[in-house]
Amino acid sequence: MARIELDRVSKVYPDGTRAVTELSIDVEKGEFLVVVGPSGCGKTTALRMIAGLEQITDGTIRIGGEEVNGVPARDRDVAMVFQSYALYPHLSVFDNIAFGLTLRGTPRDVVDRRVREVADVLELGEHLRRKPRHLSGGQRQRVAMGRAIVREPRAFLMDEPLSNLDAKLRGQMRAQIARIQRDLGVTTVYVTHDQTEAMTLGDRVAVLRAGVLQQIASPQVLYDEPVDMSVAGFIGSPPMNMVAARFDIDDAGEAAVSFGSHRLAVPEYVLRRRPALRDYRGHDLVLGIRPESMEDAAIADGPEGSTIDSVADLVEAMGADVQVHFPVAAEAVRTEDRETLDRDSGQVRSATGDTLFIGRFSPRSRIFEGKPVTVRVDTEALHFFDRDTGRSIRR
């Protein structure tokens, strides 16, 4: 395994399109780093530059401490797993896995041993003589992974390897990839647009937007402490609800945030955790509330000033929870990543022009479409952002 370093790496295509801008990331030995972001954010380009499949415009890439800017892909000793599997249809599973070793002239007994060891790890032992067309999508992806693992490379590079699988298979393969990477301890850079994969697989997650690194941190830190609205709006499913609001502190020192006809008390705990918030007294900002920070007030107790009254617009029973869409008479605020949020977020305008919030409630909730609902908000979990810069208001 090897450390991978990207030092101010940029990619500009001949037509002037800037895909990646001064990307600096250090991937430690044995680390599983996930690069996530919407389509077109530059994540696959970054991965291909590490692999040597894309020439960089500026900056430096090092693998194992060695600069590899001019090193051909075949000499970088990294293995890439593609979205499309890229298996040879006329070869058996055994021969597909063994292909790289065979090209290198590895002795046949060594090839046989290593292929069978990898097949056992990937639970492919009984399929070694079959052709790819006789395998399921998940099995084909495991063969593609086996072809990478058997080479014992310094690093794995994975480009959305699960995107062609159905939801059930993706879940199974996520667990298998995590287990294999943990057991092998190989440095891995994994690209995806699926935040569930990012949050469940990565030791750290790097969020890209328009070719620029927004934040890199552990999954929990990204969720709890997003640096700006773009990260907050991308991490979490459904996305964070965001509205224009006004923050104030009265003469008694009690803080509150108001939006439309609604008012939520801001606990002292939040002010201590976000001291810079006091500087916004009497000013507009952006309020963020995660769907899972809300609950049906009929079954959840809470302090005074922590509820929103509305009418249920749509109720979706999801099994583990109930997603309730309800209108709030306030101005919605979106990040610059409008296309992704508009497509993936339920935070849209209702028929009356109000902003639709989404809350994830307990399945015990008894809420019906068209009926009044009182929503309890965990006010200790509120997020605040500067309206002009989009940056999180913290310190």
What tens digit of pLDDT does each residue of 121-152 get?
888 999 999 999 999 888 998 999 899 999 88
pLDDT (0 to 100) of residue 274: 95
**What is the reported pLDDT for 345?**
40
What b-and-e string marks burial along 100-129, b requiring 16 or more CB atoms within 10 Å of the CB?
bbeeeebeeeebeebbbebbebbebeebbe
Six token digits for residue 289: 């509330």
Domain endpoint, select from 189, 208, 227: 227
Decide if 392 is inside a domain.
no
pLDDT at 342: 38
Please report the pLDDT score of residue 336 as a whole number.
52
pLDDT given for residue 349 in this prediction? 53
Whole-angstrom distance, CA of residue 110 vs CA of residue 107: 5
Q: Which residues contact 172 (CB under 8 A, 6 or more apart)?
A: 138
Which residues, given as ranges, of the chain have pLDDT below 50?
A: 337-346, 350-352
In a domain, residue 305? The reply is: yes
The answer on 153 and 83 residing in a single domain is: yes
- 17 and 140 assigned to the same domain: yes
Which pLDDT score is estimated for 335?
61
Do 118 and 185 fall into the same domain? yes
What does the mean pLDDT of the chain come to? 91
CA 96, CA 119: separation in Å to the nearest integer? 11
C-alpha 92 chain-centroid distance? 35
Residues 357-383 pLDDT 10s: 999 999 999 999 999 999 999 999 999
Overall number of domains in the chain = 2
Q: Which two tokens stand for residue 191?
A: 């690209």
Q: Is residue 202 domain-shared with residue 278, that is, in the same domain?
A: no
Q: Is residue 390 part of a domain?
A: no
* DSSP label of 134: G
Domain harbouring 322, CATH code = 2.40.50.140
d(CA 237, CA 376): 19
Are 105 and 208 within one domain? yes
Residue 276 shares a structural domain with residue 213: no
Q: Is the dihedral of CA 94, 99, 100, 102 positive or negative?
A: positive
Domain that holds residue 157: 4-227
